Amino acid sequence: MSDNQQNQLWGGRFSESTDAFVQAFTASVGFDRRMYRQDIQGSQAHATMLAEAGVLTGEERDAIIQGLDEIRAEIEAGEFEWSVALEDVHMNIEARLTDKIGITGKKLHTGRSRNDQVATDIRLWLRDEIDLIDGEMERLMTGLLDQAEREAATIMPGFTHLQTAQPVTFGHHLLAWFEMLKRDRERLADCRKRVNRMPLGAAALAGTTYPIIRERTRELLGFDEVCENSLDAVSDRDFAIEFCALAALCVTHLSRISEELVLWTSAQFNFIDLPDRFCTGSSIMPQKKNPDVPELVRGKTGRLNGHLIALLTLMKSQPLAYNKDNQEDKEPLFDAVDTLAGCLRAFADMIPAIEPNREVMREAARRGFATATDLADYLVRKGVAFRDAHEIVGKAVALGLEKKKDLSDMSLAELRQFSDQIDDDVFEVLTLEGSVSARDHIGGTAPDQVRAAVKRGRDALR
C-alpha cells in the first residue's frame, strides 16, 4: 500500500505524506482494534439508518452490511491485516470494506465523522464490559452470601485499631464485605446509565446536513438516549472518568478485604486457609505459602487510582470540541476495565474456597477481654450509670491482666469486689455466644440477624 493509498481517507488537502515516525506515534490501531465488534456494529446501524433516510439505496446498505460481516469474520479468524498507516480501527475497517465492495464502501462515512464514531464505539464497548463486570460482581457477592450463611454462628474477634474489640461472627464480617460491593454494584449500574447515550449523529462537532434519523440509530444500537449537544457529544469523556472512579473505589474495597486475608492467613492469626491454587511458594524457604492473589489485588489499587488521575488530567484543559488528546483516553480505560474484571474474577473464584479455622477464631475472641462492653451494659441494666460502669469494668480488666484471666474465667467473688450489682446471671452475658446473640437487631452480629441479612442480600441480587 503506497503512502497516497494509506492517506486516501483524509489526505486530499495534504501535499506530502505523513512522516513515518509521526505516523507510528499518532496511530492508535495497536490498542483500539479491540473495539472492532462495536465499530462494525455502529457502522451497520449507521448504514441501515442512511438507507431508511434515503441517503443510501437498499442494495448499497446490503453490500455494506454483508461486507462488514465478512470483515468481522476475517478479524476473528486472525486473517485481517491491521495497518499502522491507516491509524485506527475505524479507518482500517473502512479501507478493507472499500477494497471488498468498491466505491459503495466509501459511502458508509456519509453523515458521520471519526469524532462521533469513536465516541460511539467507546460507549458501546464500555457498555458491554460493564455488563460482564456486573456478572463477576454478582458471582463474588453470591459467594460471600453463601459463606456468610455457612458461618452465621462462627465466632471471631471484631477489631478496632486492629485490637480486639468485641466478639462478632465470621458471617457478619463477610456481610460487611458484601455491603461494600453492593454499593459498588449500585455505582456500576448508575454509571451504565450515562454510558448508554449515543453520540452518533454529532458528526465532527456541529451535526450534519444529511437527513439522518438519530432516534432510529439509537434504537438499532440499544442506547437509552441520544447525546443532545453535538459539541459535547464528541468531546465528552465523563463516562470514562466515572467508570475509572468506581473501579478505583471497588478495588479499594477489594484491597481492604485483601489486607484482612493476608493478615488472617499468617501464622500469627491463622484464622483462615486459602487453597493452594490461590497461593505460591518461596524459591528459598520451602515452608512458605504466600497469599499472592490478595496481595496482587491490593497492589493493583494504585494502578487504578493512577488511571483515574490520568483521565482527569487529560480532560482538565481541553477546549471544545474534539482534540487529539482524547486518543489517550483508551489505554487507561481499557486497562481499568481489564484490571477490575480480573480482580473480581479472582475474588469470585477464591472467596467460596476460604476455609475458616473456627476454633482458632473462637480462641482469639476469648483473648483481649472482648466481652468487656457486655459487662458494662449488664451493669447499666442494673441501674449503674454508664461512666461508672465503664470504670468498674476497667478495674476488672486490670485484675484480669494481672491474673491472666479473661472476664468469663473470673469467679463471681472476683467480679463482685468491683460492684455488688454483679450476680450469677453475669456469666450469661460474658460468654461469647451470649455476647453475639444479644446484638439481635438489623445490622447486628447475632446469628439470626446474619441469616436474615443473607436472605435480604439474595433478594437484592435477583
The answer to whether residues 89 and 32 touch, using CB atoms and an 8 Å cutoff, is: yes
Number of H helices and E strands in the chain, helices first, is 21, 6
Q: Contact at 8 Å (CB) between 216 and 128?
A: no
- Assess contact for 50 and 110: CB atoms under 8 A: yes
CB distance 22 to 324 below 8 Å:
no
Confirm whether 2 is a catalytic residue: no
- Within 13 A of 446's CA, how many CA atoms are on the CB side? 12
Q: How far apart are CA 114 and CA 112, in angstroms?
A: 7
Residue position matching grid coordinates 478495674: 395
Name residues whose C-beta falls within 8 Å of residue 298's C-beta, 6 or more positions apart in sequence.
254, 255, 258, 259, 262
The DSSP secondary structure of 404-440, one letter per residue, reads T--GGGS-HHHHHTT-TT--TTHHHHHSHHHHHHH--
- Is beta strand 355-356 parallel, antiparallel or unpaired with respect to 197-198? unpaired
| Contact in structure between 175 and 454 (CB atoms under 8 Å) | yes
Q: What are phi and psi of 119, to 5 degrees?
A: -60, -35
Pick from 176, 89, 188: nearest CA to 130:
188
Spot the catalytic one: 2, 15, 161, 441. Answer: 161
By residue count, the chain amounts to: 462
**By three-state DSSP, how is residue 168 classified?**
strand
CA distances in angstroms from 126 to 188, 193, 209, 285, 310, listed in the order given:
11, 11, 29, 44, 18
Q: Is 172 among the catalytic positions?
A: no
Give me the active site residues, please.
161, 282
